[in-house]
Amino acid sequence: MKKLLGALFLLFCIIPNSYALDSRVERIYGDFIDILDSKYSWWEKQIILEKLQDRAQDIRWTNISSWSQSIFDDLRILNNEYLYDVWLKNEWSQTQQKITELSLRKNLQKELSSVPQSQIVRELSTNSGVEFISTNAKRETVKNNSIQRVEYTKYFPVDSSTKRQLQSKKGIIIYEDQEYRFIEEYSLSEKIPYSEMGEYFSSTLLTPEQKVVLESGKYYTYIFTTFKYYQDDYWAYESQLQNSGFPKNGTLIYVDETWRYNFVTDYSKRFIINDSDVYWISWKWHFLDYLADDMKFNSSNNSAALGKMKILSAGFMNNSNSEDEYIEKVYNWILENISYTENINLENQEIFSALEAFNSKSGVCTAYSKLMSYFLYFWGISDAQMIKGNVIDAADFPQIGHAWVRIGDTYYDPTFDDPLGNMQVKQRDEYKYFWLPRDIFYANRYEYEDLPVGLKLATDQEIQEHIYDRLVRLIPKYQSSLTDYPVFGPVVFREKYNLDIETMITPQILANKIWSYSVQNNSFRFTRGDKVKIIQWFRYFVLTPENTEVVLSQLAYDTNDLFLFDWETEWGGREWRLAYEIDLK
């Protein structure tokens, strides 16, 4: 495979100046695909195409001439499209479904071969107008490599008393309920395999992963809440489908998470985007899937939002020298421009929409993560995905889940890095959940399918101990770079100040460890050493026993340059104020 990719890149490197989708680029890529199709299975092709996409993206960020960039942009665009086609045509569920159907058909044929025939049946079936059909208990047989069911309303028993009468008739004989039956009027209802339902109904199969269809150059999604299914897991009779009122043109097939095939007739069709507008998008199946969810709200501002997003992405790209810089600019923009939705109503699905968040500048974790993904896909960041799961030390765990972003082998959580209170912005070295390896990032979280059942019932203290233990076990691995990962802050802080995990940090405990200053009469001045300091201006958090750990977490437990004030308020009370930005005189 290395030789194959190397040869392809050599060919691209010797191409002279070209414009987007130059015919020479298309020809060379077409030759490359011909080789893939002739030598590799679909899953091997997908691996090769993904490696090619990553390599093209890496070269795109190098210091090459503009015409070379154009060539590799062409390559990424063509490879995007073919990779999407491979993904569409080779879903595991369909392949597995066909294997299951073939196995069932073979088992039925084996069962039918043992159906007995009496002497009278053999004599009657020598008549050219009479045929013996082997069937199972459901009156099913295999004809023309398909399963069909014999349907009838009237029959004659086949025995010595009816033999002479039946010799002059035309029909079929089946064995049912321990007797032979002669049937003159009957029909054969074909049992349509589920893998062929899409062709039968002239409909694209919809799955939780594939909710989008391409029709006449436009992508659409379908919105529905009700559907019907049959108990038979692998087939449905044509007569059943007709009698159930499923029209051939107008029925959707939805394969759910359990691989059950459902039939949908009550739905609405929603336009998403033109194919020409996403022709060059990386990881297009994720991009379209997220758009399909967002388009449920049918906002008239969606197209405009995507256009503005694309322009912003171009600006980030032009001011970046690497993929990492581009990701950082996207992350910064989201944290500076999007705020977490207040007064959350989970019945309002718009809070989960990245497009709505872009328009209104407000959303929840799903909107944050999806919006970040949009920016990544717009400019060719491959292998990026929004992940859903649980943050086990979140205040709403386990009732409410969370969403974050994976890019290759690194993880990002823009929601958890969004500043609290008066802290408006953060610098990159203050980000706690930016560019983390999986083991560190997952110290306090699980993807839904991996969450241990016991954690749902654990106390807050048990959860904190669980997270603390996971971080402690990682310290030897990252000993030389602990300061690069603020997520280790609680462990390092407690070890530095000799605090165990059972101790809840309060303002008083913090004052005993990092020193505090008493401010009287709301005077904005305090004594430090032998000098009086006057506070010109400052930003601060008001600390309580309940929120001290949360605030420290936002500050990555970095107490350098912090001032803790025991402040006398203008109404005569006292409160702890932790200043993180301060101008002293």
Per-residue pLDDT tens over the stretch 299-357: 656 778 888 898 999 899 888 888 899 999 999 999 999 998 877 766 667 788 899 89
Mean pLDDT value across residues 372-395: 89
Percent over 70 (pLDDT), the chain: 91
d(CA 79, CA 219): 19
d(CA 142, CA 156): 23
Which pLDDT score, from 0 to 100, does residue 15 have? 42
What tokens were used for 212? 């989008």
Alpha helices per DSSP H over 283-353 = 284-294, 302-318, 323-337
Which pLDDT score, from 0 to 100, does residue 440 have? 96
Range with the poorest average pLDDT among 54-68, 352-366, 428-442:
54-68
Residue 379 pLDDT > 90: no
| 109 phi/psi in degrees, rounded to 5 | -60, -40
**Residue 522 region, left (φ>0) first, then alpha (ψ -120 to 50), else beta?**
left
Residue 249 pLDDT > 90: no
Concatenating the DSSP letter of every residue in 185-215 gives: SEEEEEEEEGGGHHHHTT--EE-SS--EEEE
Q: Sorting pLDDT into bands at 50, 70 and 90, what band is 376?
A: very high
CATH number corresponding to 278-457: 3.10.620
The more confident residue out of 191 and 440 is 440
Residue 174 pLDDT > 90: yes
Mean pLDDT value across residues 53-57: 78
Mean pLDDT value across residues 242-267: 85
List b or e across 10-39, with b for residues whose CB sees 16 or more CB atoms inside 10 angstroms: ebbeebeebeeebeebeebbeebbeebeee
Identity of the residue numbered 559? T
Which pLDDT score, from 0 to 100, does residue 233 have? 64
CA nearest 294: which of 391, 360, 343, 338? Answer: 360
Residue 159 pLDDT > 70: yes
Which pLDDT score, from 0 to 100, does residue 277 have? 80
Per-residue pLDDT tens over the stretch 450-499: 999 899 999 988 998 999 999 999 999 999 988 889 889 889 898 888 99
Range with the poorest average pLDDT among 22-26, 28-32, 188-192, 535-539:
22-26
Q: How high does pLDDT run on average in the chain?
A: 84
| Residue with tokens 């309580």, as numbered in its chain | 544
d(CA 146, CA 101): 10
Which pLDDT score, from 0 to 100, does residue 538 have? 87
Residue 46 pLDDT > 70: yes
Residue 388 pLDDT > 90: yes
d(CA 170, CA 183): 9
Per-residue pLDDT tens over the stretch 202-220: 777 788 777 888 888 888 8
Quote the crossing angle between the two packed helices 323-337 and 365-378, to the nearest 10°: 140
Query: pTM here?
Result: 0.72
Which pLDDT score, from 0 to 100, does residue 422 have? 44
Residue 50 pLDDT > 60: yes
Percent over 90 (pLDDT), the chain: 30
Range with the poorest average pLDDT among 1-5, 259-263, 274-278:
1-5
Q: Using CA of residue 351, residue 353, residue 354, residue 355, what is the dihedral sign?
A: negative
Are 265 and 245 a contacting pair, CB within 8 Å? yes
Residues forming CATH 3.10.620 domain(s) in the chain: 278-457
Q: Using CA of residue 59, residue 65, residue 68, residue 73, what is the dihedral sign?
A: positive
| Residue with tokens 């993206």, as numbered in its chain | 57
Residue 10 pLDDT > 50: no
Q: 564: exposed, middle or buried (C-beta count within 10 Å: 0-12, 13-18, 19+)?
A: buried
Are 265 and 318 a contacting pair, CB within 8 Å? no
Radius of gyration for the chain, computed over Cα atoms and rounded to the nearest angstrom: 33
CA nearest 145: which of 114, 109, 95, 115? Answer: 109
Quote the crossing angle between the two packed helices 42-60 and 2-13, to the nearest 10°: 40
Q: Sorting pLDDT into bands at 50, 70 and 90, what band is 274?
A: confident
Residue 234 pLDDT > 60: yes
d(CA 411, CA 217): 34
Q: Which residues contact 123 (CB under 8 A, 6 or more apart)?
A: 163
